[in-house]
């Protein structure tokens, strides 16, 4: 089985610049190759394979106009072509929609694999960067990281995908029934009430204020970018609070968990049920 571990790190100014260049080059290569493949199919009914795409990338890096592609590690540029090839395979197999262009306003990621990372003397180094990454390790690295994602809130992470052998827990006869509610997040058959932290309501006033400020900023301005980042950080905080609460609620020793298939959203619409 495979499991992913994600660790946050705090890059230096030079590393921030390098990662921004890497993310930009990854987006450019993905969009450029996608446009080339789309035009080839629409104009000549020609399907482009991975070998042709890889040769296209090599030709782009040799052109003086795109010489800046050589300033970043070569691994993520090659990996993004593999991701695009997988996206086309899923599209032709009917498992996904047609690949779309990437945007810098959403999550950014660069797949570097173990070829662009070095783990030496307890420190992690990235290709093209002399200083080690300031990674906050909550546990030892299970393997060399494979991906460097950056979320919409401007936080940087290293992601490790590794294989592990799962260990079966001892079998117990403990079972629990869960009733999903509105006043309480859930109620068990033993009468335990979890309560409802209502993280969105807790930060609703602050979120509304930041969103009003964002709506008044001129599009494309630096002030709008700063305001958008504040909104994204608050959304990230709310999401982290929800994730932490769910992890704490689901840690139990029950062998069987039974949950009702009740749609709480429909109950909210029908006010008579709540009365």
Evaluate the CA torsion angle 27, 29, 30, 33 in order and state its sign: positive
3-state secondary structure of 259: strand
Q: Which of 8-17, 84-93, 179-188 has the lowest mean pLDDT?
A: 179-188
Q: Which of 115-124, 140-149, 254-263 has the lowest mean pLDDT?
A: 254-263
Residue 201's nearest CA partner among 231, 232, 241 is 241
15-39 residue pLDDT tens: 999 999 999 999 999 999 999 999 9
Contacts of 264 (CB under 8 A, 6+ apart): 180, 181, 182
3-state secondary structure of 162: strand
Q: What share of the chain has pLDDT > 70, as a percent?
A: 93
Residue 5's pLDDT band (cuts 50, 70, 90): confident
Q: What share of the chain has pLDDT > 90, as a percent?
A: 46
Whole-number Å distance between alpha carbons of 73 and 110: 10
Max Cα–Cα distance, the chain, nearest Å: 71
**pLDDT at residue number 209:** 96
Quote the distance between the C-alpha of residue 216 and its chain's center: 29
pLDDT over 90 (residue 256): no
178-219 residue pLDDT tens: 887 778 888 888 888 888 888 888 899 999 999 999 999 999
Whole-number Å distance between alpha carbons of 117 and 126: 5
Most confident of 89-103, 112-126, 175-189: 89-103
């Amino acid at each position: 089985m495979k499991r992913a571990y994600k660790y946050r790190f705090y890059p230096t100014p030079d590393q921030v610049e390098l990662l921004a260049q890497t993310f930009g080059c990854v987006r450019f290569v993905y969009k450029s190759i996608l446009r080339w493949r789309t035009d080839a199919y629409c104009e000549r009914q020609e399907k482009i394979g991975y070998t042709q795409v890889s040769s296209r990338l090599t030709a782009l890096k040799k052109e003086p106009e795109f010489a800046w592609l050589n300033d970043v590690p070569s691994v993520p540029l090659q990996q993004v072509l593999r991701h695009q090839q997988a996206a086309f395979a899923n599209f032709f197999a009917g498992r996904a929609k047609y690949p779309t262009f990437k945007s810098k306003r959403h999550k950014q990621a660069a797949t570097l694999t173990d070829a662009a990372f070095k783990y030496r003397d307890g420190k992690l180094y990235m290709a093209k960067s002399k200083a080690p990454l300031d990674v906050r390790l909550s546990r030892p690295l299970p393997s060399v990281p494979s991906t460097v994602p950056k979320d919409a809130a401007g936080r940087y992470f290293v992601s490790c995908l590794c294989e592990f052998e799962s260990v079966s827990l001892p079998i117990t006869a403990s079972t629990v029934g869960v009733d999903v509610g509105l006043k309480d997040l859930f109620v068990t058959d033993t009468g335990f009430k979890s309560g409802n932290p209502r993280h969105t309501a807790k930060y609703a006033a602050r979120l509304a204020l930041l969103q009003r400020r964002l709506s008044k900023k001129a599009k494309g301005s630096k002030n709008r970018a700063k305001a958008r980042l504040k909104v994204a950080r608050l959304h990230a905080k709310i999401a982290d609070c929800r994730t932490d609460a769910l992890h704490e609620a689901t840690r139990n020793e029950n062998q069987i968990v039974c949950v009702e298939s009740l749609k709480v959203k429909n109950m909210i619409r029908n006010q008579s049920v709540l009365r």
